[in-house]
Amino acid sequence: MGSQEYAASAVPVRSRLSQQCFELRSLVKWGSPMAGLPGRFSQLRWLQNVMCLAAMIGAFMLIGLGVAGYGSLEKAPNVWMIAAGGFTLFIAVMLLTFVPLILKLESTVNRQFGEIRDLTDALTRHTRLLELIVENTRISDTAKSLAHRGQELDALRGAIRDDVRNEKWELALNLIEEMERRFGYKEEADHLREEVDEARNSAIEAKLREAITLIEGHFEIHEWDLAQAEIDRLLVALPDHTRVLSLQDRMGGLKEQHKRELMLAWQEAVRRCDTDHAIDVLKELDQYLSSAEAEALQSSARDVFKEKLLQRGVQFRFAVTEKRWTDALNIGLDLIREFPNARMAGEVRDVLDTLRDRARAEAEAAATELPEMSS
């Protein structure tokens, strides 16, 4: 049966359900069927009232005759007759009092028994009716679900697209599984899985391209530590990706190439006696050298630093000889910073206070000469 046929069948089902609910509300009006019947034991009550009235009349007559001395030879009050009249009157009053109570109690018990019996019958009918209502409700829910099948499918497809757009791959796959399980759309579910896989792979490739571009930038300016950190992050996310695995080998090759370039630059600077450039190259080259390579360069490096120290000493002496105290102070400070353990650095430390005083005096003299030249 198709969804339209189920939807059509839902209309008479709902009509029957409404009618059954109306019957259920009607059955809730409890009440004993004896409420409208005439009073029970009416003839017995009428006979009891007549007998009690006759007994009371007879009792009063006996009491009156007893007081008048009827049946007594001496015309004295007849006690036995008075006692018999009083006892008869007592019995009549008791019957008038307790017999209606007993009949009322019996009537109440009988009425309650009837109501309990009616309630039991009503509950039985209600149980059957409620079971029927529950069954019809299930049928109605199934019919509504089938009638809105298309809307539910559209909502699922929209939710899957939103999850794919937001890169929530697991949620999208779970919704596809639900579509296949609830509606049996296996082919569409397989097609959607392929779309999710393609979208996920495209997103991963885009992010991988961005990360590789960033790593290549680190390669160009020789920031090997930052490049290694990015490669490690990619290895955690994509441990088996070939492009990620190749980055590690590529960085090793670039580092080795840059090391060779620095070695050539070092040799050229030593050959040209360019001590400043040689020292700058050696500082950068130091992080690439192994212990054996560093030991091999130790002799030439010592010569370069010795030449640099001699140059600084010559510059310092010329500045002192020419009384350029500010230049002498700056050169001396550079010499102490670059060669803190050299003997020449100790000699410069001894005269630093004097150099500072003379450099200060030189600056004050230059400041006073400036306005005079302006005028």
Do 23 and 109 fall into the same domain?
yes
- Report the distance separating Cα 65 and Cα 72, nearest Å: 10
pLDDT of residue 6: 40
Rounded to the nearest 10 degrees, the angle between the axes of helix 42-68 and helix 79-147 is: 160
CB atoms within 10 A of CB 308: 17
134: pLDDT strictly greater than 80: no
- In this predicted model, what pLDDT tens digit does every residue of 192-248 receive, in sequence order? 888 888 888 888 888 888 999 999 899 889 889 999 999 999 888 888 888 888 888
pLDDT, tens digit, 9 for 90 and up, residues 345-372 = 888 888 888 888 888 888 888 777 655 5
Both 41 and 122 in a single domain?
Answer: yes
Give the C-alpha distances (Å, rounded to integers) separating 296 from 155, 275, 300.
73, 18, 8
Same domain, 33 and 84: yes
At CB < 8 A and 24+ separation, what contacts does 321-326 make? Answer: 323/358, 325/355, 325/358, 325/359, 325/361, 325/362, 326/359, 326/362, 326/363
**Domain end call among 189, 218, 247:** 218
> Does residue 52 carry a pLDDT above 70?
yes
Q: What are the structure tokens assigned to 72, written together?
A: 């007594």
Residues 56 and 105 in one domain: yes
Nearest residue to 316 (alpha-carbon basis) of 274, 355, 280:
355
Mean pLDDT of the chain: 78
| Structure tokens, 344 | 């020449």
| Residue 37 DSSP code | S
| pLDDT class of 21 with cuts at 50, 70, 90 | low
CA distance 254 to 140: 72
Tell the burial category of 44 from Cβ atoms under 10 Å away from its Cβ (0-12, 13-18, 19+).
exposed
Give the per-residue pLDDT at 332. 87
HSE on the CB side for 60, CA within 13 Å?
A: 6
For residue 251, the enclosing domain spans: 222-288
Q: What pLDDT score was predicted for residue 27?
A: 46
pLDDT in tens, 263-309: 888 888 888 888 888 888 888 888 888 888 788 787 778 888 788 77
pLDDT at 144: 58
Confidence of residue 344 (pLDDT cuts 50, 70, 90): confident
pLDDT of residue 25: 52
152 and 142 fall within a common domain: no
Domain co-membership, 169 together with 210: yes
- Please, where are the H alpha helices in 148-185? 149-165, 169-183
- Whole-angstrom Cα distance, residue 171 to residue 162? 10
Is residue 189 within 8 Å of residue 177, measured between CB atoms?
yes
For a pLDDT cut of 70, what percent of the chain falls above it?
Answer: 81
Half-sphere exposure of 72 (CA within 13 A, CB side): 15
Instruction: Tell me how far apart the alpha carbons of residues 347 and 352 are, in angstroms, rounded to a whole number.
Output: 9
| 252 and 331 housed in the same domain | no
Give the closest residue to 263 by CA, choosing from 283, 287, 281. 281
Same-domain check for residues 227 and 206: no
What DSSP string describes 210-250?
HHHHHHHHHHHTT-HHHHHHHHHHHHHH-TT-HHHHHHHHH
Which of 162, 183, 218 finishes a domain?
A: 218
pTM for the full model?
A: 0.46
Q: Compute and round to an integer the Cα radius of gyration of the chain.
A: 61
CB atoms within 10 A of CB 122: 14
Q: Give the pLDDT confidence score for residue 351 in this predicted structure.
A: 86
Place of tokens 């001894």: 350
Give the C-alpha separation, 64 to 78, whole Å: 10
Q: Both 182 and 207 in a single domain? A: yes
The total number of structural domains that make up the chain:
4
pLDDT at 9 > cutoff 60? no
Q: Of the residues 218, 247, 274, which one is the last residue of a structural domain?
A: 218
Residue 247 CA to residue 251 CA, distance in Å, equals 6
Pair 48, 99: CB distance under 8 Å = yes
Per residue in 142-174, pLDDT tens? 555 555 667 777 887 888 888 888 878 888 888
Greater confidence (361 vs 18) lies with 361
Q: Which amino acid is at 145?
A: S
295, part of any domain: no
Does the structure show a pLDDT above 60 at 35?
Answer: no
pLDDT band of residue 177 (cuts 50, 70, 90) is: confident
Other Cβ atoms closer than 10 A to 261: 12
